Amino acid sequence: MRNKWLFRAQLIFTLLVCSFLIVPVILSALAGITQNFFLGIKSGITLHWLGEVWQLYSGTIYLSLLIAIWCLIATLAIGVPAAYVLAKQNGKLARFIEEIIVLPIAIPGLAIALALIINYGGFRDFRTSWGFILVGHILYTLPFMLRSVLAVLSSTNFHELEESAASLGASFWQRFFTIILPNAKSGILAGALMVVTLSIGEFNLTWMLHTPETKTLPVGLADSYASMRLEVASAYTLIFFVMIIPLLIAMQKLSQKTNKV
């Protein structure tokens, strides 16, 4: 009997915490499609605000996607081979390099951005292009790709797999494409989703690195919160959710799948 009451109390507490987190999200999403937020939902539902956001900020959405894709390409091209090499080396130097690459996780985004501006801000064309933001994003997301691939590689005895492929006559590139990549697939996929999600949502760094010509979605969001009607800002947030939530769900699904194997 007592257990039952305890269970109920815990359930209620959990639901309360969840609603504390979720209700604002729902309200915010609703605000984005309400005629007038102060009058409430009875004022009518509209796509007007979404249309307005699209008109004002579609550029930021495209730019965010563009940067996310290039960021993904770059972290794949750098992170996967780097993880492979680091997994192969056991020496102190390899661990040191790994730590260095992972460092941006620990450093505040603002500090990285400041360092980038101090060092490379002088190159005007670079400073004013979205490439400048891209570099920041790559620095920030690379550790996640690297860690993710490294974890998979260290959990399989890929070293021996590669040796046995070599004994069967496979050259380095044949081994890389037929053995290493397919067996690191789950790590690469998880890393890729993480990179895209982080890049789309990144604000700290980007806020410092952007110019009026190179605004990403989260920077645009901050801008709209500061200067627009609440409904526009909320509609904008809704678009952000629609972009980011499928990625988060895919990430969750993927990690469940890899845990099962």
Partner 1 sequence: MNPTATSIKLTNCAKTFADGTQALKPLNLTVKAGETIVLLGPSGCGKTTLLRIIAGLEATDQGGEIYFNQQNMTSIAIEKRNIGMVFQSYALFPNMSVAQNIVYGLKIRKLKPQAIKQRLDEMLEMMQIEALAHRRIDQLSGGQRQRVALARAIAVRPNLLLLDEPLTALDASLRDRLRSEISELLQKLGITSIYVTHDQSEAMALADRIVVMDEGRIVQIGSPYDIYHRPKNEFVANFVGNVNQHPHVFNTDYLTLFRPEDAEIVEPSKGEFEAKIMSVLFLGDKSRLTLDCGFKKPIYVDTTLRQDFKTGMTISIYVEPERLIRLKTTDNSSAAVKES
> Residue numbers of the site for partner 1 (CB under 8 A)?
156-157, 160-161, 163-171, 174, 178-179, 182-183, 185, 261
Report in angstroms how near the CB of residue 94 gets to partner 1 at its nearest.
14
Is 186 or 216 the residue whose CB approaches partner 1 more closely?
186
Rank residues 122 and 169 by Cβ distance to partner 1 and give the closer one: 169
Residue 183 C-beta: closest distance to partner 1, Å: 5
Burial status of residue 20 (CB atoms within 10 A of its CB: 0-12, 13-18, 19 or more)? exposed
Min. distance of Cβ 170 from partner 1 in angstroms?
5
Give how far Cα 246 sits from Cα of 162, 179, 242, Å: 35, 30, 7
The CB-of-219 to partner 1 minimum distance in angstroms stands at 41
Which residue, 11 or 181, is less far from partner 1 as judged by CB?
181
CB 179, min distance to partner 1, A = 6
**Closest to partner 1 by CB, 19 or 164:** 164
Residue number, 161 or 248, with CB nearest to partner 1: 161
Please, which residue, 8 or 185, has the CB nearer to partner 1? 185
CB of 173 to partner 1, least distance (A): 11
Closest by Cα among 137, 124, 116 to 213? 124
CA dist 72 to 61, 69, 146, 189, Å? 16, 5, 12, 11
